[in-house]
């Protein structure tokens, strides 16, 4: 067994590999860029080597620096994680030639199956059903449009080295095919140093189901059941689960055996995943093979009881697989939610900056631990006070739950999301909560178009209807009353000016456009110090018990005998006196005031935000890579104005209306802040 391994990656996957190595008694080496100097994976590793500037192409994608770090530290093996160089066959070959063991498949297997174009050719020659398309690299955007017309829209434009939603677009017309080719090429070049792009027919209403494989150097390959990955937004997975609620045992067996046959054809060893598109009738088509560990591997670990990273390391060291196909378990149901640094209420734009608070829910399952199951696990590469840089992927954590069945797993995940506190940046937790509560998701009735169909106009706060909105109002009154009781108990108050606790309040729910709602509530006395009160609103009453302290962001307790976890934050960006409450994805801002103060508040005029329609504003922090207009130019609605790059994704900004450019306020290459003006129209 190896004594020391280097992890050629960053973030949560680097931390994940380190945990298994520690369990196995193996020393670890981290690598880091300038942006990751204080990152969590650097702190967890036994050693760390600096490899360059923040941009991936100057650090994590530079093979020479990675190999030099191995030699410098005496690392005998290298784990590539996922992304970056993990599926680069040339890199794997170089690592082996330098006498370092690559903890992954052999370079020849990777070249045959990791390349999306070559793998399709190989699958076709092996008699596997493939989706119609052109499986050779396309040289220009014009050629891409011509091919797309021949196949018939819609088509999928995909970078050969793409992954994680990078270098992938769906086009429904010539304009989208032209734009998509350009964006895919650029994203793939920046993220993977390979700009080859191909086109295939986009199968509508498909399911995305993948088979997890593990192979050894002795010719053994096993399939470790399947993962359901159909809940996607812009082809990036959002929720993954194992097993799938859709396929039958017969389909599972057929898909697994076909995946194993493909892997054996290229002498595959290590962990890998064969992805399939599955139709309504459970017919399935080979999509591609990922020759690496997948982001969503924890759900497979939960239902099989295996540590996939440990198996990868043992296989790389020459060991045989410790089980047969018949011994592979399928126990319970696991779900994973990807927690991303993005704002779901601003069209999921990246959100970078300082993590003022980062407190995940209590964990009962842990990375690399194959003893404790049926609980909650958090895989992350960040920590309280850490920085979310603009240079890398937006995923900051993975929340994994393991339940006895699917409904148990959904209930556990909803409660875990309620207790996941992230402050300082925006996260997609409200969106995840809404998906988990959607009747079609709960019923298992969905395909890869689920999010596009159900949230066609984006995601808004009203898309998360709370099953009992009065609960949040009652909780606000409970918290406010508790703070009043505490304030009244302070000594040294002047006679006649002491805090009056009172029992009658009005909860003012603050609307973003000044449309406030006023709810009178009556709060009965607290019973001693136990933190309990009865809140009445008309005919409804809520008996809340909670021992949480006033300064706790996460409040736990019971309401009418049912346990709850909710978040209460004091002060909002617009109103330091307001309370912000979150529960089951619903978020409200409220003021809890006396009846007289509520009367006066209702008379306050609403201050409308300034009109910024003449400006094109940066919707996120990012790098301005292109300004497509100049002063005096006439611009039509929908015309390209600027391109911003953030978290490895290109975001094109278009003009909202016809106009003439009066000023260009930001220069190409400039780092932009949120809502910074780029162009002003006259």
Residues with active-site annotation: 288
- H/E run at residue 470: helix 469-488
State the Cα–Cα distance between residues 553 and 568, nearest whole angstrom: 5
Q: What is the 3-state secondary structure of 80-116? A: CCCCCCCCCHHHHHHHHHCCCEECCCCHHHHHHHHCH
> What is residue 417's three-state secondary structure?
helix
State the Cα–Cα distance between residues 2 and 106, nearest whole angstrom: 18
- How would you label 393-404 residue by residue, b for 16+ Cβ within 10 Å and e otherwise? bbbbbbbbbbbe
Q: Could you tell me if 7 and 31 are in contact, meaning their C-beta atoms sit under 8 angstroms apart? A: yes
> What is residue 393's three-state secondary structure?
coil
CA of 253: how far to CAs of 122, 223, 270, in Å? 22, 9, 21
What is the dihedral sign for C-alpha 74, 78, 83, 86? Answer: positive
- By DSSP bridging, strand 133-134 and strand 197-201 are antiparallel
> Residue 18: how many CB atoms within 10 A of its CB?
26
For residue 563, give the DSSP letter. Answer: E
Non-local (6+) Cβ contacts of 510 within 8 A are 516, 574, 575, 578, 588, 589, 590, 591
> Residue 55, Cα to own-chain centre: how many angstroms?
21
N- to C-terminal Cα distance for the chain?
A: 69
- Helix, strand, coil percentages (3-state) for the chain, rounded to 5, are 30, 30, 40
| Angle in degrees, CA 137, 139, 142, rounded to 5 | 120
> What is residue 297's three-state secondary structure?
helix
- How would you label 317-351 residue by residue, b for 16+ Cβ within 10 Å and e otherwise? beeebebeeeebebebbbbbbbbbbbbbbeebbbb
Interhelix angle 308-316/297-304, rounded to 10 degrees, is 90
Nearest to 507 by CA among 543, 545, 469: 469
- H/E run at residue 533: strand 532-537
Non-local (6+) Cβ contacts of 322 within 8 A are 314
Length of the chain counted residue by residue: 682
Non-local (6+) Cβ contacts of 336 within 8 A are 239, 240, 241, 296, 298, 299, 398, 399, 400
């Amino acid at each position: 067994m190896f004594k020391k391994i280097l992890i050629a990656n960053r973030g949560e996957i680097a931390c994940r590999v380190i945990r298994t190595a520690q369990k196995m008694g193996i020393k670890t080496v981290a690598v880091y860029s300038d942006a990751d100097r204080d990152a969590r994976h650097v702190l967890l590793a036994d050693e760390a080597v600096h490899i360059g500037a923040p941009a991936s192409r100057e650090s994590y994608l530079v093979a020479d620096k990675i190999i030099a770090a191995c030699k410098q530290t005496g690392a005998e093996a290298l784990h590539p994680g996922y992304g970056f160089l993990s599926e680069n066959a040339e890199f794997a070959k170089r690592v082996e030639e330098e006498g370092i063991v690559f903890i992954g498949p052999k370079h020849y297997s990777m070249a045959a199956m990791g390349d999306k174009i070559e793998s399709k050719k190989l699958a076709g020659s092996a008699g596997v059903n493939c989706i119609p398309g052109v499986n050779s690299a396309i040289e220009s955007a014009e050629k891409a449009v011509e091919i797309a017309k021949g196949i018939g829209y819609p088509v999928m434009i995909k970078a050969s080295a793409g992954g994680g939603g990078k270098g992938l677009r769906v086009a429904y017309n010539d304009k989208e095919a032209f734009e998509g080719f350009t964006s895919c090429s650029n994203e793939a070049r920046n993220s993977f140093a390979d700009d080859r792009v191909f086109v295939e027919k986009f199968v509508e209403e498909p399911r995305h189901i993948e088979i997890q494989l593990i192979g050894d150097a002795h010719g053994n390959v096993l399939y470790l059941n399947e993962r359901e990955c159909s809940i996607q937004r812009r082809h990036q997975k959002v929720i993954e689960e194992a097993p799938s609620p859709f396929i039958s045992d017969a389909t599972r067996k057929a898909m697994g055996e076909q995946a194993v046959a493909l892997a054996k054809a290229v002498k595959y060893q290590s962990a890998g995943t064969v992805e399939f598109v599955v139709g309504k009738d459970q017919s399935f088509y080979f999509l591609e093979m990922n020759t690496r560990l997948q982001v969503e591997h924890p759900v497979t670990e939960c239902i099989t009881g295996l540590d996939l990273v440990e198996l990868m390391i043992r296989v790389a060291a020459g060991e045989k697989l410790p089980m047969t196909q018949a011994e592979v378990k399928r126990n319970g149901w696991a779900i994973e939610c990807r927690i991303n640094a993005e704002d779901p209420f601003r069209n999921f734009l990246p959100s970078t900056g300082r993590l003022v608070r980062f407190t995940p829910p209590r964990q009962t399952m842990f990375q690399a631990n194959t003893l404790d199951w049926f609980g909650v696990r958090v895989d992350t590469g960040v920590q309280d006070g850490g920085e979310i840089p603009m240079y890398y992927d937006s995923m900051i954590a993975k929340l994994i739950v393991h339940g006895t069945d699917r409904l148990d797993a959904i209930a556990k995940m909803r409660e875990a999301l309620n207790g996941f506190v992230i402050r300082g940046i925006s996260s997609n937790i409200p969106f995840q909560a809404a998906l988990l509560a959607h009747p079609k998701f709960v019923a298992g009735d969905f395909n890869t178009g689920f999010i596009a169909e159900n949230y066609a106009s984006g995601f808004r706060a009203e898309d998360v209807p709370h099953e009992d909105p009065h609960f949040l109002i009652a909780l606000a009154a409970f918290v406010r009353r508790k703070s009043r009781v505490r304030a009244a108990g302070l000594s040294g108050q002047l006679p006649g000016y002491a805090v009056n606790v009172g029992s009658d309040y009005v909860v003012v729910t603050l609307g973003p456009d000044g449309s406030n709602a006023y709810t009178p509530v009556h709060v009965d006395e607290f019973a001693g110090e136990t933190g309990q009160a009865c809140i009445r609103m008309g005919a409804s009453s809520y008996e809340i018990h909670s021992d949480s302290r006033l300064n706790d962001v996460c409040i736990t307790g019971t309401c009418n005998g049912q346990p709850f976890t909710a978040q209460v934050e004091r002060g909002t960006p617009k109103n330091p006196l307001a309370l912000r409450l979150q529960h089951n994805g619903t978020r409200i801002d409220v003021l809890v005031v006396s009846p007289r103060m509520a009367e006066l508040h209702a008379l306050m005029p609403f201050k409308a935000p300034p009109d910024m329609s003449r400006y094109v504003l940066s919707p996120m922090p990012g790098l301005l890579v292109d300004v497509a207009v100049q002063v005096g130019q006439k611009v039509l609605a929908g015309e390209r104005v600027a391109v911003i790059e953030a978290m490895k994704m290109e975001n094109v900004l278009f003009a909202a209306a016809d106009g003439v450019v009066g000023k260009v306020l930001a220069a190409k290459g400039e780092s932009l802040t949120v809502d910074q003006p780029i162009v002003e129209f006259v």
